[in-house]
Structure 1
Amino acid sequence: MATVFRASAPVAQAGPDLGPLLELPGTWVGNGFNLISRPDQHDNKPFFLELNATRETLSFTPIGSPIPNRGSGQDDIFFLGVHYLQQVSDAATNGALHLEPGMWLNIPATTDPAAPASVVRMATIPHGDALLAQGSSLTVEGPPLIDPVDSTPTFSTGPNAGQKLTGAYLDPFTTTPPPPGIDAGAIANPNVVLTEAISKQKIVETTVLIISTTTDVGGVTGGIQNIPFVVKNANAVAMSAIFWIEKVQSDDGSTFMQLQYTQQVTLDFLGINWPHIQVATLVKQ
């Protein structure tokens, strides 16, 4: 049988670009805040509320050539992306908190399926999780609009599903002191860390990436796959995130690039959905 080779289109002909991901390549460094409720059977308690001021390095590298996806119901598509490595540590102890390799992709609009252009994030986590999230992007003049995010757990099952927990069960959310340098209001709304970071800045342009594992694009959603231990003990069932890529103008008129994000992973255990929220403000080096 003869071997058949199929040549890829030249870059100039295929014409893909990074689009809203254009400013990501490089290394971004900064600080943030991490809030997670995790099981605490070791101490015979239903959960432990962990709060960390964080240091973070997030590095992006362009994927070296256009990626071809072959079509059977439409013409082939070609697109570009970046791969990344995220490293988060505790600001006080330097202890490792999070390690995540992954990719962002800039997907063009398609006819089969009928779907608009989208951005995709794929990631793996050492706890035994792999995710695919997708969504949309936009660019606006001026600073970002950062809405509050609610850290209150909700019931995941039973007649009260979707309702917020109340009462003494939530005492750790009101009695646990925040880490040094973190406002007490960040426990209820971690996004205050982001708004405080830019309160005195002049941001002239913002590119927004909005993704989640539950967003439907072309009739298909993403999702999270976990190892059996995670599924049974603290199941990661959904993730949503907003990234703001900001052009900041200094007093002398020069500009620099800044990246802010808010991310929420929902952990399901004890019949409760517990928000695991990470936020950070990073400056491109």
Structure 2
Amino acid sequence: MAVISLPPGFQIAPVPFFGEVPAPEPRSRLGVLENFNGSFTGSGFNSIFRPHSGPNTKFPRDNILELNLIDDSITFSEDFGAVPNRGLMSQSNIFLNGISYVQAVNAVTNEETGKADHSPIGIHFETGLWMNVPPTNNTPVLGESLVRMGSIPHGTTINAQCLAPTSNSSGPPELPPASLAVFPSQGGGSAVPIDSVNASVVSSLRRPQDLSKFIAAGTITQEILDDPNTVLRNAIKGQTILHNIAFTVSTTPPPPVFGGGTANIAFLEGDPAITNPNANAIQMNATFWIETVQHKLQVPIFKRGQAPMKISPASPAHQRVPVYLVNPPHDITVPKTITVTSIQIQYSQVVNLVFDGLIWPHISVSTLIPSDPVTVPDSVWN
């Protein structure tokens, strides 16, 4: 699991100029980002059409569809303070607040079993920042917004934004479909047929080439290749989700948000005019669902003063569940059932890569739960 820490006592703060009027503190220091607290681990699915440098004269020439069952971990830092952004003339100064993060993703795709039980192979590492930007009423006129700034070792950085969510939705989230369809990079035209997205075909341009064991295990199926968000829906089947908060950050955000984007190293762009890129990342959209999940815990007999207990709720075999730290404030003389909640994060991310005259979607989906035990509050025992 990736770890992240700030130097002891580190807090960003403004350095005032003589006579400067300080900006008001934002309504919420972090807003919805307060839920990105500590470490989360989970599992999911990752697909990428990657460039192929070997000989292949059939169009599209240069692609290998790599499909991965993944273990995922994200660790968030504490709020590192008020970051001053200076306004010009009539625009007041503002304070941004945020957290840093580290993400590490391992492929655990086992071609022998068709399951996610292979020894881990690192396939993604990302560092970055999540920031909450307070509303402004001059330049620009914009409501409270969120920003994700990330960097990956392949040579791409992102700056993705959205307006901050303003409400919760009751119950589980509505998870829209995602698509592995490939389109011409010049715009227009219909999707280009790609044999490797047919699960029943044993494709030389896919890894794994033979999906029969994965189909039998239900881990990579035609339904999943048609809509990778199927993995997210399967992950929450049978869960009691009380409410969820959803937002989508994008490097090309819709109005009224503007700015942001992607930046790539020379190798990825291929040439100064980007006419023959190796894998130019042109856009990223990522939707996050922050879910409050309710669980039932069976608490055994307990005598006050003994060591706290670590208890996990019952769950279907395919679901990971959090561990709860249970320390009743009084004796439990007979076994008792209590109701508890924890935060669960789901995301669906699409990065569009351009090479060989086509736009290739790189899709990652994951369901994450707290890595560390969740403390049961005293209010549960009232």
**TM-score normalised by length of structure 1:** 0.90
**Structure 2: distance between partners of 1:207 and 1:219:** 19
Q: Distance in 2 between matches of 1:14 and 1:118?
A: 11
Deviations 1:173-221 (A, max 9, x none): 1025285652402112110000000011010021212111000465632
Which 5+ residue runs of structure 1 have no aligned equivalent? none
Partner of 1:235: 280
- The aligned residue for residue 263 of structure 1 is 349
Give CA-to-partner distance per residue, 1:51-104, whole Å, 9 cap, x none.
000001100112321111111131111121111000000112311110000011
**TM-superposed deviation, 1:14:** 5.8
Contact 1:194 1:280 in 2 (8 A): yes
Residues 84 and 102 in structure 1, CA contact (< 8 A), matched pair in contact too:
yes
Identity percentage of aligned residues: 36
1:193 partnered with 2:235? no
Distance 2:79 2:255 in 1: 23
Structure with higher RCO (Cα < 8 A, 6+ apart): 1
Name the CA distance, whole Å, in 2 between partners of 1:234 and 1:222: 20
In the alignment, the residues of structure 1 paired with residue 280 and residue 289 of structure 2 have an alpha-carbon distance, to the nearest angstrom, of 28
Are the aligned partners of 2:24 and 2:94 in contact in 1 as well (CA < 8 Å)? no
SS of the counterpart of 2:292? strand
SS of the aligned residue for 1:41 comes to: coil
Q: C-alpha separation between the residues in 2 aligned to 1:43 and 1:205?
A: 51
1:212 paired with 2:250, answer: yes
CA distance in 1, matches of 2:260, 2:67: 28
Describe the shift of the 1:42–1:254 C-alpha distance in structure 2 as closer, same or farther (beyond 3 A). Answer: same
Describe the SS at the equivalent of 2:102.
Answer: strand
Give the corresponding residue for 2:162.
135
Say whether residues 1:221 and 2:248 are aligned partners.
no
Give the secondary structure class of the aligned counterpart of 2:290: strand
In the other structure, the counterpart of 2:10 is none
Answer yes or no: is 1:182 the counterpart of 2:219.
Answer: yes
TM-superposed CA distance for 1:10, in Å, is: 8.7
CA contact (8 A) 1:119 1:209 kept: no
Q: Which runs of 5+ in 2 are unaligned?
A: 1-14, 109-117, 202-208, 270-276, 298-338, 372-382
Greater gyration radius: 2
Confirm whether residue 26 of structure 1 aligns to residue 38 of structure 2: yes
1:39 equivalent in alignment to 2:51: yes
The equivalent position to 2:150 in structure 1, one of 94, 105, 123, is: 123
Higher strand content, 1 or 2: 1
Q: Quickly say closer, same or farther: Cα 1:12–1:181, change in 2 above 3 A.
A: farther
SS at match of 1:186: helix
Confirm or deny: 8 A CA contact 1:71 1:77 kept in the other structure: yes
Q: Does the Cα contact within 8 Å between 1:16 and 1:66 map onto a contact in 2?
A: no
Query: Would you say how many aligned residue pairs link Structure 1 and Structure 2?
Result: 277
- Is 2:74 the counterpart of 1:82? no
Q: What amino acid does structure 1 have at the position aligned with 2:252?
A: T
TM score, norm. by length of structure 2: 0.68
Superposed CA deviations along residues 16-48 of structure 1, whole A, max 9, x for unmatched, are 411011110110001010000011113545210
Distance 2:267 2:157 in 1: 14
Are the equivalent residues in 1 in contact too, given 2:26–2:134 (CA < 8 A)?
Answer: no
